[in-house]
Amino acid sequence: MTSASTTTSTIYSATETPSSTDTGTIVTTIASVSAPLITNTIVASSSISETIDTNTLTTDVTLSTTTSTVSTSSTESSSSSSSSSETTDSSSASIDVNLYTTTSSALTISVPTDSTTQTTESSIYTTTSSVSSTVSGTSDSSTASIDVSLYTTTSAASSSSTSESSSSGTSSSVISSSSSTSGYTGDLFSVIDTAAPPSVFPRENLYLSLTDGVSNGDTPYETNKFYTNMMLDDQDDFVFVYPYAVWWLKDTYYGLGISHTTYSDYVFTYDDDSTTASSYSNPLDVESLVLSADSFDSSVTLDLTEMEHMSVLATLSESSSTTNFIDFPLVQGMGFVTGVYNGGLTPIINSAVGFSVITQEESDALASGILKYRATLYNEVDWLIYVTLPDGYTTSDFSFTTESSYELKGSASIDGLIIQVAVAPDSTQEAYYDEAAGMYPTAANVSGTVTDSTSAVYSLSYTTSGKSYSGSTMVFALAHHVDSLSSTTADLATGISLYSTTKGKMYGYLTTELIMEETLETDIQFLPWVANMTSDLSYTADQLQLIAAAANSELSVDIATTVASLDSNYYSGKVIDKYAYILLTVSEIIGSEDVTKQTLSAMKDAFAPFLNNTQYYPLMYDTLYKGVTSTASQSGDTDLDFGSGYYNDHHFHYGYFVHAAAIVGYVDAKYNGTWAEENKDWVNSLIRDVANPSSDDTYFPISRMFDWFHGHSWAAGLFSAADGKNEESSSEDYNFAYGMKLWGKVIGDNSMESRGDLMLAVMKRAMNKYFLYSDDNDVEPSPIIPNKVSGILFDNMIEHTTYFGSNTEYIQGIHMLPITPVSSLIRGAEFVKQEWDEVIASIIDSVDSGWTGILRLNEALYDATTSYSFFSSDNFTSTYLDDGQSLTWCLAFSAGIMNST
């Protein structure tokens, strides 16, 4: 920083506080929490388990943990008798499985099957009673059966023993889950495709018309970014650019309202006598400053153009005028709020708080042609005001005068005049603003590269206009950026900090680029994984038997019919992914090739209606905003399919399908299948809609859902809300990135795979600061830390609740589901234990619903032994399972982690 000298001259000083009769008023209205527009994508506890209209899902899965006893004299081959047979619905197949062999003698356990049973569905059978090495059950010769040897032990069972052999309980099957071997070095943001989405998606305009003045030409519209409020309805809800909030003012003052709040402004809400806050928010409508013009009135219009994923150009114009307007480039992280005056407008700056003192200052750190003012408001907050004159003018050609305690008026109308405002920092840091004044960002873009699949560098690069003393502008970074900044960027720190509305302090850098570095975790693949694994994934014989028994029950349904019967793409996605995890378990952990093939075939059948776009709510390609979205709201009902027609929750919905497709493609390729290649365009269309990485793809906006500035996605779509964008389920957010990563691996798109890894690395940082609260969290305010999770994170508020209820299990569980191999990356063992001890332990015994299984499988992230004990208990029932959760996966995940940590 240049050592700057300054001089000041007071041009206005109020002698007393303005009276209530003055034309301006201090507006300090606190926004009340209204009912949300969109219901969440999870139903309440009373209906969390599957309520599909089919008898195949009502079977209760109850397993015994009694182990097999090997005996040469036993004639019993099942828990009831040697002649009993396992029955399923008449459409289900019964597949004979030989579960257990030893190195001394093979035990063939077969299930007698009625000759009328059709072999159309997969089923795995295991027994938990004593079996005979000399007796084999037989099936009718007309019934197809599969006899599979799943695992062997290293010790022989005694032919005369009547007690449990060591081989049945202590031997293990070891499964190595290799990391990515691509060793990819290259662009992290390579285009996925530039071709039109498949024709199976009909072309239609979305039911929601564009608001007058909103135009992006042929460029796809960003439907889920910080400026959505300016695109919709009356266009006057708040836009949270961070660190400032801005909005279009249409009454009393006419222009762009500007507000900044700090910790002392936070409003906390407490339930009963609790010392833990259930929410906190920021006051709205505090018009600290308003950039306006003397001719602006109620006829002013707002246009939005140049809508990109981190920026937008907002333009306020005199009615019917094409020459008199103010351009406001709004860019995430911008250090100044900037207005560029065009035509014959005379600048006005208003303040509803009121000006106490106005001084003009000089600094030798200012570029030529820049004036500097300091405005002290009646709330004792200082704002810096910089005026940059265009070439051909000198600083003597313009000045501000005070018209009242609420208004500064420019002395002249100058085409191309730039006014910039910022909250003043400590006086020792002020020269940094002086050095940055005159330059402002107009857009920002993300780019990045990876080396050997693990070392990633990504940057937020700002396009700028104007000129400054330093040749740079002021950019504010969030806490998760700061932790990963490159040394080059870190050296540009100014020491200036400003509070954001819901993400703690932001930090100022004199730069035009934020460069971050991440180490990517490539060990996370398809199979169970936690960060503290000390050995390869492994399972004992008893565990494999229980997993097989669960799969036997859960595969006894018609998967395609089950999935197709659901009335939401969200529900269908959850359930098809549930069966994909069972397919993965049968293929990779149980190792039954024949059952794998039959389940794989069933999964392909389940995908068929979606690939043919004949599901309950078909998808379409929206030719207006440009994206693949649900047809549910084409009649105008925005609540259907959870609002996904208006681009709500796309990452939640599509993430399940993408992950399920990755498993099907992965398993299919083992048998030289081409399913992934044949259906790549369909799956890629979902990914392109949510997370298109490149402007070369002109059919979708860049990164519709994931916000590269905030480090997580937003879920609200084309719905306005005074508190800004929001996200509830952090776990379904990273579930999409995980699925995308695996799909990239399956189709050989190295850039996509590594980009998924980068998104996960960024979310690990961001979510553990803004969504998940370890005891040592120093970003969010201390009164909410005991909640352990955010609940719903808005731009302007954090509320510890959900859209579907305030039960503790709902609020905590929505940040857990689904529990997958990537969960441990985000939800570390230390945090999970803290959350369990401080919040969940006191309520777990009273939770009796599908949330029980979610909480208990999450427990495996720090205590897999207790988790496995729950799922393998004699008392377990399927009512504990969420509709997207299978006992097969719960056992496979918890047992595998228990044995490997």
Catalytic member of 50, 588, 649, 757: 649
Q: Are 629 and 644 spatial neighbours (Cβ–Cβ below 8 Å)? A: yes
Contact of 780 with 262, CB cutoff 8 Å: no
List of long-range contacts for 194-197, beta carbons under 8 Å, 24+ apart: 194/696, 194/697, 194/698, 194/699, 195/681, 196/621, 196/699, 197/621, 197/628, 197/681, 197/685, 197/688, 197/699
Name residue 487's amino acid. Answer: S
Render 814-841 in DSSP notation, one character per residue: TTTPSP-TTHHHHS-HHHHHHHIIIIIT
Q: Say whether 732 is catalytic.
A: yes
Q: What angle in degrees, to the nearest 10, is found between the helix axes of 541-554 and 569-585?
A: 140
> Closest Cα to residue 644, out of 181, 117, 38?
38
Q: Is the peptide bond before 701 cis (omega within 30 degrees of 0)?
A: no
What stretches of 500-654 adopt beta strand conformation (E)? 505-511, 513-519, 537-540, 619-622, 627-630
Contact 420, 337 (CB under 8 A): yes
Angle, helices 650-670 vs 730-747, to 10°: value is 30
Active-site residue identified among 193, 222, 318, 732: 732
Q: Are 625 and 223 in contact (CB under 8 A)?
A: yes
**Can you give 66-89 as a three-state secondary structure string?**
CCCCEECCCCCCCCCCCCCCCCCC
Residues 306 and 272: beta-carbon distance below 8 Å: no
**Distance from C-alpha of 613 to C-alpha of 520, rounded to nearest angstrom:** 36
Tell me, rounded to whole angstroms, the distance of Cα 889 from its chain centroid.
23
Looking at 237, 287, 728, 809, which residue is catalytic? 728
Structure tokens at 449: 């590269």
Confirm whether 707 is a catalytic residue: no
728 counts as catalytic: yes
Report which of 517, 519, 498 is spatially closest to residue 507, judged by C-alpha positions. Answer: 498
- d(Cα 409, Cα 11) in Å, to the nearest integer? 12
Tokens 């005979």 correspond to what residue?
132
Identify the burial level of 416 via C-beta atoms within 10 angstroms of its C-beta, where 0-12 means exposed, 13-18 middle and 19 or more buried: middle
Q: Which residues contact 552 (CB under 8 A, 6 or more apart)?
A: 86, 123, 124, 125, 126
- Give the residue numbers annotated as catalytic, written as ranges: 649, 728, 732
